[in-house]
Amino acid sequence: MKRIIINNFLFFLFLINIAYSAQNLIPPSDIQYSEKKVTIIIDPGHGGGDWGINYRGIYEKNITLDISRKIKEKLLKDNPRMVVYMTRVDDQFLNINDRVNYANSQKGDVFLSIHCDFIPSESISGYKIYYMLSDNIAEKQRTELINWDTIQTSHINSSGKLASFMDQYMRAALIKEDNNITGNDEDDVLPLESRGVFRIKSFILKSINMPAVVVEVGNIYNRNDFSYLTDKNIINQIAYHIKEGIINYLIKTNYQ
């Protein structure tokens, strides 16, 4: 009888210890970002008198701004300690130097430029992701002077990883954002297909001093993509998947 009482008492102490430990666990978001401030730079393509693509009365500059705003909103909602800047927050014209200088001045950890494709073929649809192609070999700086025309070279490996994560999470079947509220068990899958990850020589990417990618979110000429990119619900989905790609890149590459 005494052995039963002792065993029950020990088991009770064990439960108390578990409960106490659980109460003192750091929430996952705090673990991820407690030691390092993470700064994200989002670049909505075009703006002002630079419309980008103008198709059926729809301007690319407005699509890129809508998606960028949503990405920022979702990043800050899930990660209040994260810092998110946009190169433009309204219908403003910026040239490439404006965008690059602003991004580098904020000393970001990730740079993401949002654009749309216009390929005059109904058979081509979906998004694609670019990172920098360079013939230069990264070398250690021998002086205090920075060659801004080749600075992205030192980030190419990280940019490639970022591009891969973006593609992975845009293709992925994710848990719906409102799952905890609605109890909806369906997966969140983008209707846009992936056209893959590519390397290009880019005027905007070459001088960005952080891991950087360009996302072409769809081919506006394609009737399905056009309908998706003018649908607020799909734009919200796109932003959600892009946000997840950024977050998981940061976690897996130890931005902690």
What per-residue confidence (pLDDT) applies to 220? 96
What per-residue confidence (pLDDT) applies to 150? 86
Of 194, 196, 195, 205, nearest to 133 (Cα)? 205
What per-residue confidence (pLDDT) applies to 184? 62
What per-residue confidence (pLDDT) applies to 4? 43
What per-residue confidence (pLDDT) applies to 196? 97
Counted residue by residue, the chain has a size of 256
What per-residue confidence (pLDDT) applies to 135? 66
- Distance (Å, rounded) from C-alpha 168 to C-alpha 249? 10
What per-residue confidence (pLDDT) applies to 212? 98
DSSP per-residue codes, 163-209: HHHHHHHHHS-EEPTTHHHH----EE--SSPEEEEEEE--TTTTT-S
- Distance (Å, rounded) from C-alpha 178 to C-alpha 238? 15
| Mean pLDDT per 10-residue section of the chain, whose length is 256 residues | 43 37 35 67 97 95 98 91 95 96 96 96 96 67 63 94 97 85 75 96 94 97 97 97 96 76
What per-residue confidence (pLDDT) applies to 16? 37
Tell me, which fold does domain 35-252 have in CATH? Aminopeptidase (3.40.630)
What per-residue confidence (pLDDT) applies to 180? 56
What per-residue confidence (pLDDT) applies to 206? 94
- Distance (Å, rounded) from C-alpha 64 to C-alpha 44? 5
What per-residue confidence (pLDDT) applies to 145? 59
Please tell me the pTM assigned to this model.
0.82
Side-chain-side CA neighbours of residue 155 (13 Å): 23
Yes or no: say if 242 and 75 are a contact pair by the CB < 8 Å rule.
Answer: no
Q: How far is CA 129 from its chain centroid?
A: 11
Of 44, 224, 42, 212, nearest to 126 (Cα)? 224
